[in-house]
Structure 1
Amino acid sequence: MAHASTRFTVDRTVPGLMVKIGDYPLHHGGVGAIRSLGRLGVPMYAITEDRYTPAAASRYLHGRFVWPTTGREDPERLVDGLLRIGRRIGRPTVLIPTDEEAAVLIAEHADVLGDRFLFPRTPRGLSRRVASKQGLHELCIEHGIPSPRAVFPQTQEDIEDFAGYARFPVVAKNREAFQRRSRPAVNGTTRIADAAHLRRLAKAWGPRPGVILQEYLPREEAEDWVVHAYFDADSAALSMFTGVKVRSWPPHAGMTACAYVVGNPELAEMTAQFIKRIGFSGIVDLDWRYDRRDRRYKLLDFNPRMGAQFRLFENEAGVDVVRAQHLDLTGRAVPEAEQRDGHRFVVENIDLPAWLAYRRSGYTTPHVPDRPASTELAWLAADDLKPFFTMLARFVRPGAKHLWQMWRGRAGRHHDG
């Protein structure tokens, strides 16, 4: 695609480091971050699972650090690993976490990491709290932000009580964004049809279920909205973008497959006020659902880091949230400009099955433009082809099998709200 011309200059003496914890090599968001700053001449480094990930193949990657992790390591070991990487880079470096584990690790070890790296500082415990489904729900109640009704069972007896009065269907999600010592109770977002289904699932959750049971917002009466933004040390928005999620995979439950930039001043203002109240600084990726039944936007998820689809959003000055963070942390102004309404973002390897599934269901999103003003692909870029072909090589055979298993075994049971 034709990228917007930039109206700013970056500090090319300050590199960026993409930080990921866990094994997910096909991550288009990491490739997007490498390209975003790399195209401006910023030296980009990345932590990769091995030498042959799409991120490792990017022409804009200055250096890679092969460091396979699981997310179950002791935090002290992960911090030591980051410090070793920082010493090898040899100069102050902007950290760009791509998952909750990395974002929380950086926030909770800011005193140790701050001498070598640049990153936004958040109040102690806040990143972990917003990444937690229970913590976020409590913050929403505290600050008057609409969110789906939810309960947090502590025992199997609590689940049995809930089964007796709940209005089904309901949604089950893992209470915490990640568990270092145990397997998650559910795989993603799971729609539960009735009390019998709940009791069957609960048998595997153990004596202390780590789940949230949440009100189901029917897709026929809802729209999925996303907000990506960057907030400075005073929790003021230096860049803010709103858009509509059109398709995800698995359908209505998983990763964004196709989305459009659509202006929504009301939602932007709600987000800005909420972030200001809780005092968060840094990049955010928020999932909201508009419930047509009561005409309210309800906050579903708060990711205290860049979202995989962040390249959907770039303003007319050429600023996205990753560029905004680098500019701000290096002491440069972040230029204001309008977002590119009508721009579309497509994740090639998952959008085709998602499109087929949504076409069969007849689901539509009213706010989507008739035709996109422009389109950006997650993987394919004319100036950086190797990540696309590396993705294909790793995805085609096991990826096709995985998509089929997800569709056969999970479609219809998952929902992201």
Structure 2
Amino acid sequence: MLKPALVLSDHTVALGVIRSLGRMGVPIVLFCYREGDMAHHSRYVKEIVQVPHPEKYEHQFIDIIVQQRARFGGSFLIPCSDETLVAVSRHKERLEEHFVVACPDQEIVSRYIDKKNTYPLAESAGVPVPRTFVPTSVEDVESYAVGIEFPYLVKPSQGHLFYKRFKRKMIPVKNREEMIAVYRLAAENNLEVMLQEIIPGGDDAVVNYNAYTWQGQALTEFTSRHIRNAPYLWGSPRVALSEWIPEVIEPGRKALQSVGFSGYACTEFKWDARDGLYKLMEINGRHNLSGLLSVHCGINFAWLHYRHLMEGERPQAAAFKEGIYWADITRDFCYSLMSFRQEKYPLSAYLRPYFKPHVHPIWDIKDPKPFLQRLCFLAKQLIRRRQCRLGEKEEQPLSWWQSFHKRIR
């Protein structure tokens, strides 16, 4: 009888891990904390534990997990979001007394969760990185803006905190005034940001190096290419494609070695046509959004992770199928409607993933409830927004675009 997996988080990443392990016979106990998430509707979830948000109530979050030790002692504990990763790494020593914790130590996590630490370490190991500056004041921004060419990026040091506030991974700026305004807005929200050059190229210039590494050695590797991002150019993938990309193997290995990482990570690069190099964008030291793509191609990273830590089965190098698409149809449909004038893809390009072999991150005919839950949540959001436009007195947070323009007017 396999020990349960205690999955922390309840959205797309977690759903991929749940299905990857559940299909292998691993019982799933899900710890959820966010409205609108849908993984708890999966047929593979045997039990649900409600927990407070790990950022707002970190100690209570950890306490509730520890309270499950009598029933689930020795189980596989896996964080599936940045906020759960940070919380678990901070309390790893306590949690390891009761569970097998699939998370690096706090010191290691801090090297890649905070990108201002990541870039110098990677660059010192010989990994190409974009030109990046970390300001500490408005004066720093003003001074730096004098010697650069716009447009530029204002990019967070800790992406999950920035995304929570602005619903964007980063914000492009066209001139010095916009850069200063976005910096001030971030500072007012106690968010540290970096100023980074824009690597030219479309969404398909971005690639992922997925690997399970241990003590500096890459054991199993998989690569893929972004096809369309959400939002266009500045977001996470909504369509990706499995593809062997040998140019990122060595930089990917070096990047993970530079932060001392062991376990599963998805490392993102972008091709820079100016010098012919792949530049490091970020290291995601946890299971990633498009995790089911590698499973569909023959490499089940979550299962490798489980077997290695629980049973001592060391992962081995493996071939994978190329030319398989990962397509999030709901996000792809919505963002394609919003972005087709910018993207300028022909209709055939939008349709191609759905007429080729592909996997959907949420829809699964054998496990349909998470997809139905997602549709219900999206419908509720649309109704809520319509009510607000009709004059309902319901307080809504400003989008980053609204906040940005309100701030610079």
Q: Indicate whether the TM-score tops 0.5.
A: yes
Aligned partner of 1:81 in structure 2 is 64
Aligned partner of 2:45 in structure 1 is 61
More helix by share: 2
Is the 8 Å Cα contact of residues 156 and 209 (structure 1) preserved in structure 2? no
Q: 1:19 aligns with which of 8, 17, 39?
A: 8
2:237 pairs with 1:256:
yes
Question: What is the Cα deviation at residue 223 of structure 1?
Answer: 0.3
2:308 pairs with 1:328:
yes
Is the 8 Å Cα contact of residues 285 and 305 (structure 1) preserved in structure 2? yes
Counterpart CA distance in 2 for 1:122 and 1:221 is 30
SS in 1 for 2:274: coil
Aligned partner of 1:48 in structure 2 is 32
Counterpart CA distance in 1 for 2:203 and 2:304 is 35
Question: What is the Cα deviation at residue 393 of structure 1?
Answer: 0.8
Deviations 1:76-123 (A, max 9, x none): 333222212333x33311122111222233233222111211134645
Is the 8 Å Cα contact of residues 247 and 354 (structure 1) preserved in structure 2? no
Counterpart CA distance in 1 for 2:240 and 2:204 is 15
Which amino acid in the other structure matches residue 60 of structure 1? Answer: Y
Aligned partner of 2:388 in structure 1 is none
Counterpart CA distance in 1 for 2:60 and 2:137 is 33
Equivalent residues in 2 for 1:95-244 (5 A)? Answer: 95-120=77-102, 122=104, 124-178=106-160, 187-206=168-187, 210-220=192-202, 223-232=205-214, 234-244=215-225
Question: What is the Cα deviation at residue 245 of structure 1?
Answer: 0.5
Aligned partner of 1:268 in structure 2 is 249
Question: Which ranges of structure 1 fall in alignment gaps of 5 or more residues?
Answer: 1-11
Counterpart CA distance in 1 for 2:78 and 2:231 is 26
Q: Kindly tell me: are residues 390 and 222 of structure 1, through their superposed partners in 2, closer, same or farther at Cα, counting changes over 3 Å? A: closer
Q: 2:374 aligns with which of 387, 391, 404?
A: 391
2:336 pairs with 1:347:
no
Question: What is the Cα deviation at residue 179 of structure 1?
Answer: 5.1
Counterpart CA distance in 1 for 2:68 and 2:377 is 27
Question: What is the Cα deviation at residue 186 of structure 1?
Answer: 8.5
2:362 pairs with 1:382:
no
User: Larger relative CO (CA 8 A, sep 6+): 1 or 2?
Assistant: 1
SS in 2 for 1:204: helix
Counterpart CA distance in 1 for 2:281 and 2:56 is 26
Is the 8 Å Cα contact of residues 208 and 269 (structure 2) preserved in structure 1? yes
Q: Kindly tell me: are residues 55 and 209 of structure 1, through their superposed partners in 2, closer, same or farther at Cα, counting changes over 3 Å? A: closer
Which amino acid in the other structure matches residue 295 of structure 1? Answer: G
Is the 8 Å Cα contact of residues 185 and 210 (structure 1) preserved in structure 2? no
Q: Kindly tell me: are residues 206 and 269 of structure 1, through their superposed partners in 2, closer, same or farther at Cα, counting changes over 3 Å? A: closer
Is the 8 Å Cα contact of residues 239 and 320 (structure 1) preserved in structure 2? no
Which amino acid in the other structure matches residue 155 of structure 1? Answer: S
Is the 8 Å Cα contact of residues 28 and 46 (structure 2) preserved in structure 1? yes
Tell me the matched-pair count.
388
Deviations 1:349-403 (A, max 9, x none): 20113334554334669xx9x777521111111111111111111112415988x
Counterpart CA distance in 1 for 2:343 and 2:2 is 51
Deviates more, 1:119-128 or 1:254-263: 119-128
Deviates more, 1:90-99 or 1:121-130: 121-130
Q: Kindly tell me: are residues 166 and 253 of structure 1, through their superposed partners in 2, closer, same or farther at Cα, counting changes over 3 Å? A: same
Q: 1:319 aligns with which of 286, 294, 299?
A: 299
Is the 8 Å Cα contact of residues 241 and 268 (structure 1) preserved in structure 2? no
Normalising by structure 2, we get a TM-score of: 0.84
Question: What is the Cα deviation at residue 136 of structure 1?
Answer: 1.0
Counterpart CA distance in 2 for 1:201 and 1:70 is 27
Counterpart CA distance in 1 for 2:21 and 2:64 is 23
Counterpart CA distance in 2 for 1:50 and 1:169 is 35
Q: Kindly tell me: are residues 267 and 308 of structure 1, through their superposed partners in 2, closer, same or farther at Cα, counting changes over 3 Å? A: same
Question: What is the Cα deviation at residue 341 of structure 1?
Answer: 0.6
Is the 8 Å Cα contact of residues 17 and 93 (structure 1) preserved in structure 2? yes
